[in-house]
Structure 1
């Protein structure tokens, strides 16, 4: 009996098949950022284990890889993704009893499930900060506005849309902020699943239209 109890405990600790956490799975993420910071946005769905919107600030444990990756990204809009080992997404929740501090992942140029090419295999990703952790509702509901969270506080920033309706769209974009610009969330009128135009976003940010550098990630298929 003692051996069986120890085996069960070991499987739970290791994240084996015995583990009952419904958030256990392979949680792909969009990767973006540059010299001022690296960020990972979980690619969510409206069903377990992926029914959470999670945004992380991260770095790569290997300093040379981290520096090379930041240089290659550096505010650009080309899509990169993270294909991680399986883990419990709940461990990224605020005040999680066993918080996830790091995980192994392939860093992929392009979408890891849509022909992307691995550039840095089996990298150790260190979680520096959890910027957002929200459970998504599976109910069909409409929203008349789109709210975007600002990420970054310097000149190079990003906007990530709050997923707050169903159907909805996952949207990350890059923009260049004016010195001293506010870091508050912004809102724009939501028109079905259409991306807001640069002009709409610029108006909400009180900046010039050419400050909007472009979309890093936009996807609707998993959020219908």
Structure 2
């Protein structure tokens, strides 16, 4: 009997510990006609201790077009409330890459009163643009580094999370034709949101090119 109970315990424990990244991985949704993107909302603990940015589309063409139209050129926050899956399947080295998943597409934050606009949509993963595990160690960086998402006129800056505490930040801006897609870095003022002027100076564009903020959050990254 003891051996049977031990075997059952080991089986149960193994099933629960199969992948530490399994969970409901909410994401910020942004983009428009030139591209549609989803950014995982990270924390400094499992299963959410990864910064992941995806280029995606909605499998249903009519829903995809309607969503892009509603997002295009706007800064209203949209989020993705997906079914549970292993985030590790989005790693470029995964032996079982995640190609698509079901999700509610929500106007607002799905955990903070947002309203579902497109329920149970099938999200297709076109490309993994970033996949990096976050370190839980306390660390301070003097600079705030941003990666550029998109290569056309409508682009987005996404803060690289590289400190603890830190902030998650997504900013749309209008790029000139042929503008560089290189990362930018500006002086970091603790957990204060960078100004449009400071972002514009780092990009060498007028302040009017910065279109506002899609997402800024600090609470989950302390």
User: Retained in 2: the 8 A contact 1:149–1:185?
Assistant: yes
Q: Distance in 1 between matches of 2:53 and 2:78?
A: 15
Moved over 3 A (4+): none
For residue 138 of structure 2, the aligned residue among 137, 140, 145 is: 140
- Give 2:189's match in structure 1, choosing from 188, 191, 202: 191
Counterpart position of 1:3: none
Q: Deviations over 1:134-178 (max 9, x none)?
A: 100001110100000001111110000000000000000110011
Counterpart residue number, 1:167? 165
Report the counterpart of residue 5 of structure 1 in structure 2: none
Aligned to 2:8: none
After TM superposition, the structure 1 = structure 2 runs for residues 144-155 of structure 1, keeping only pairs within 5 Å, are 144-155=142-153
**Is 1:46 aligned to 2:44, yes or no?**
yes
- From 184, 189, 201, the counterpart of 1:203: 201
Could you tell me the TM-score, scaled by structure 1's length?
Answer: 0.92
Residues 32 and 75 in structure 1, CA contact (< 8 A), matched pair in contact too = no
Root mean square deviation, CA, Å: 1.3
**What's the CA shift string for 1:33-72, capped at 9, x where partnerless?**
0001100000000000000000000000000000000000
CA distance in 1, matches of 2:16, 2:186: 45
- Runs of 5+ unmatched residues, structure 1: 1-10, 12-16
Residue number in structure 2 paired with 1:217: 215
Partner deviation per Cα, 1:9-29 (whole Å, 9 max, x = no partner): xx9xxxxx6561000000000
Shift in Å, 1:195: 1.1
Structure 2 distance, partners of 1:100, 1:216, is 26
Q: Distance in 1 between matches of 2:128 and 2:110?
A: 23
Q: Distance in 2 between matches of 1:97 and 1:50?
A: 20
Separation of aligned partners in 1, 2:174 and 2:35: 14
Distance 1:78 1:38 in 2: 14
Separation in structure 2 between the aligned mates of residue 40 and residue 75 of structure 1, nearest angstrom: 16
- State how far apart, in whole Å, the 2-side matches of 1:137 and 1:46 are: 7
Alignment-derived partner of residue 4 in structure 2: none
